[in-house]
Structure 1
Amino acid sequence: MAARKSDARPIVAVIVFLVIAMCVYFLILGRMAYRLLEHGTAVSIGLGIGIFILPLLGVWMIVSTLRSGIEHQRMAADVAELGRELDVDDLPRRPSGRIERDAADELFAQVKQEWEADPSDWVRTYRIARAYDYAGDRSRAREMMKRASGQYRQAKA
């Protein structure tokens, strides 16, 4: 039986709604900053500059998050196309749906051995990032996913 592809439209709709809501919020903050700058006092200028920086930071965070999310989706699709996804369907799970710790650790040990054979391969780095995630080590998973992204960009260049 072929794996059913999930419908991403609800997730995309929520993301679009949240981005639009954040843009409206940034416009309101920008207008507030402009009004503070118009007052011309040292305190209002300082607050205006500080408030004006917030929307700029917010836009940068949204753009970088969306870019990395899109890149991770592309990597996942390429790994699936290569038939190199981690098979976790048969691993025992907790009632919460998370993979049992021992099974996740065993999977990680296998993937780590594979990765150590060639750490420059983006697919192997992607797989170890996923294995770290399944094992519950989120910080290392993020670190390795960043590394996999860099390797992926180099491989596609």
Structure 2
Amino acid sequence: MMARAGVIVIGLCLVLYFVLTGQWAFLYIASGEPIGIAMGAALIVLPLIGAWALVREIQFGFQAERLGTRLDGEGGMPVAETEISPSGRVSRADAQPLVQRYQDEADAAADDWRARYRLGVVQDAAGRRKDARASIREAIRLAKGAD
């Protein structure tokens, strides 16, 4: 729940930023100076790129949450087999063998979004955030093809 509240607050701050940046862009463009026009154009383009990235991240979050809820409802989420720290991380000593086991399971069932999602959850718990996001993105892609 806190994550959603954080996303809403950051999203609202970004919208405020877009409004203020848009005002500055208009003022720069209205100046008629070549440098001002270039700066105004940049102030329009860069926030659009930021908005696109924000929308993509929100879509990813909703899709990942939907799949996680579905997998949890089926009883397929990974079970904590090792001690987990208060931050939700697996100890370094236990992480590599655990990730490798789930990686082998995901490779054996290449078309199964559930195996790929479980791998992403374990990678995240092991602190491998970039790999976890890639695995969950792949699970989302596979789930779309399976539906």
TM-score (ref. length: structure 2): 0.89
Q: Which runs of 4+ in 1 moved over 3 A?
A: 93-97
CA distance in 2: counterparts of 1:110 and 1:11, whole angstroms: 29
Residue 49 of structure 1 is aligned with which of 41, 45, 55? 41
Instruction: Please name the residue that 1:13 is paired with.
Output: 5
* Letter of the 1:111 counterpart: Y
Instruction: Please name the residue that 2:60 is paired with.
Output: 68
In structure 1, stretches of 5+ residues that fail to align are: 1-7
The answer as to whether partners of 2:88 and 2:125 remain within 8 angstroms in 1 is no
How far off is 1:100 after superposition?
1.2
Higher relative contact order (CA 8 A, sep 6+): 2
Assess, with a 3 A threshold, how the Cα gap between structure 1 residues 104 and 22 changes in structure 2: closer, same or farther.
Answer: same
CA root-mean-square deviation: 1.8
Alignment pair present for 1:81 and 2:77: no
Alignment pair present for 1:148 and 2:139: yes
Assess, with a 3 A threshold, how the Cα gap between structure 1 residues 125 and 21 changes in structure 2: closer, same or farther.
Answer: same
Instruction: Please name the residue that 1:132 is paired with.
Output: 123
TM-score (ref. length: structure 1): 0.84
Aligned residues with identical type, % of pairs: 26
Residue correspondences, number: 147
In structure 2, stretches of 5+ residues that fail to align are: none
How far off is 1:40 after superposition?
1.1
After superposition, what is the alpha-carbon deviation per residue over 1:31-76, rounded to whole angstroms, capped at 9, x for unaligned?
A: 1001111111111111000111122112112111111000010010
Instruction: Please name the residue that 1:37 is paired with.
Output: 29
